[in-house]
Amino acid sequence: MDDDLLFKPIGDLAALVHGGELSARELVTQALERIDALDPTLNAFVEVDGERALAAADEIAPGDERPFAGVPIAVKANVPVAGMCMNFGSKFLSGHRPGHNAYLVRRLQDAGFVVVGVTNLPEFGILPTTEPRHTGPTRNPWDTDRTPGGSSGGSAAAVAAGMVPVAHGNDGGGSIRIPAACCGLVGLKPSRGRVSRGPDLGDSYLASEGVLTRTVAETAQLLDVLAGYEVGDATWAPRPPEPFSVGARRAPGRMRIAMSAENPLGIEADPECLRGMRETAEMLASLGHDVEEAAPALPGVEVLAVFTQVFGPAIALGITYGELLAGRSPEEDEIEPLSRAIAELSRGMTSVEYLVAVAQLQALARGVVAFFAEYDLLLTPALAERPLPIGELDGCGEDPMADFARSGRFTPYTALINVTGQPAISVPAGFGDDGLPTNAHLVAKPLGDDTLLQVAGQLEAMRPLQARRPELASR
């Protein structure tokens, strides 16, 4: 088994398959062997379907013109992959196997990717850790006593450990950017409406679909695959004038960048998280950008209650979806205390109260976005704390809503950008004395995905960290 193979860029892997130097079966087999070796420790996958993955690989011959023919990928277990488990991290949906693909899965397969399995997540994607009671905690490859973040924690762990080169994730409050920070990866939350959520879901006020990768270039390449209007989408972000993978290679020009560790919850960030932000600011200044300390007018802690009034019904929708599939309500042990508490809170709201909460968030968002009339980017820490120990935040305690509030102290920087709908990216910024990765967080103007990728690419070129890998991944 070649321990280096799945750490190669996806373009290089596809070129090996296209040129006949490596068969798609050999490449997919490598991924399956690494999953078999590492997943008993990490628990990144809910399900692996090697037989089907190998059958798909056998259909790929040298010369296949699809851009990523033969490259293995994983999909988070809250998006439909035909015939595979889509359990949302919940015992209640453990038997659910949709008979169709999400549009984004179809796009991945049309580009030649081979889906090898589906990845773990906290129940219904609520928490920024990945410790579902039903399928157990996913562990961080850099320190298996720590969380890989959430909710796309299974995907992040799989990529960081080299089980797959890239993996799908989604982000409703930081769920791509947080695990990227915990695992030292690149995690882009695209602009609202950039990637279709069909055919089952309409547009979302908070959630965006994306990927976890090791490089900015790979993130741009995957955005080219995933982005774009699908028939029936209620809203969508227009395509840029050139592919993201082309635009990402261009110099962004001189940017005016605000830097701030302020956050709506008034949390003081860990010194290592601040170091990552400040060293990133110094690098940006050395690249010729104008960097100064400034922050948008932020809401107070009361915004958490308003956010919950909008985030909560999305969670309740997932549970209701399960009830429709099962034809019954979940038993007491079939969903976790936090899921039940948020669902009950949401079902106790009137439709008018929900619409008022959305309107409040929209008004708040306008004030934040207005700040970007003066600045091109905002730089913040990605997290306020180091990756939490397994068991510290799992939503199964006696006071589950206290766990939900606790999650904000860990990740106070990300959810606001789901409210505004702007693109934001979590990028590697080195390692702490604890050996764990540290990331910085950059936010761009609305629809500024291309600018964000350009600046992130500049930073990556100055501090190429992607060659460093967890000790576990080299065993």
| Catalytic center residues | 76, 151, 175
| Residues whose CB falls within 8 Å of the CB of residue 213, separated by 6 or more in sequence, listed in order | 10, 159, 165, 166, 185, 186, 187, 219, 222
Q: How far is CA 405 from the centre of its chain?
A: 21
Distance CA(394)–CA(89), nearest Å, equals: 12
Cβ atoms within 10 Å, residue 122? 33
Instruction: List all residues 6 or more positions away from 369 whose beta carbon is below 8 Å from its beta carbon.
Output: 420, 422, 445, 446
Rounded Cα–Cα distance for residues 6 and 4 (Å):
6
Question: Do residues 446 and 373 touch, judged by C-beta distance below 8 A?
Answer: no
Determine the length of the chain: 475
| Cα 227 to Cα 153: distance, rounded to the nearest angstrom | 22
- Longest pairwise C-alpha distance within the chain: 60
- The DSSP bridge partners found for residue 118 are 47, 75
Cβ-contact 154, 185 below 8 angstroms: no
Cα atoms in the Cβ-side hemisphere of radius 13 Å centred on 311 = 23
Give the span between the Cα atoms of 263 and 273, in whole angstroms: 13
Question: Edge-to-edge, what's the strand order for the sheet holding 114-119?
Answer: 45-48, 114-119, 72-76, 166-171, 208-213, 186-189, 424-431, 437-444, 377-381, 256-259, 290-293
* Site of tokens 């799992």: 394
Cα-to-chain-centroid distance, residue 264:
21
Cβ pair 158, 44 in contact under 8 A = yes
> 79-93 in b/e burial notation, b at 16+ Cβ within 10 A?
bbbbebbbbbbbbbb
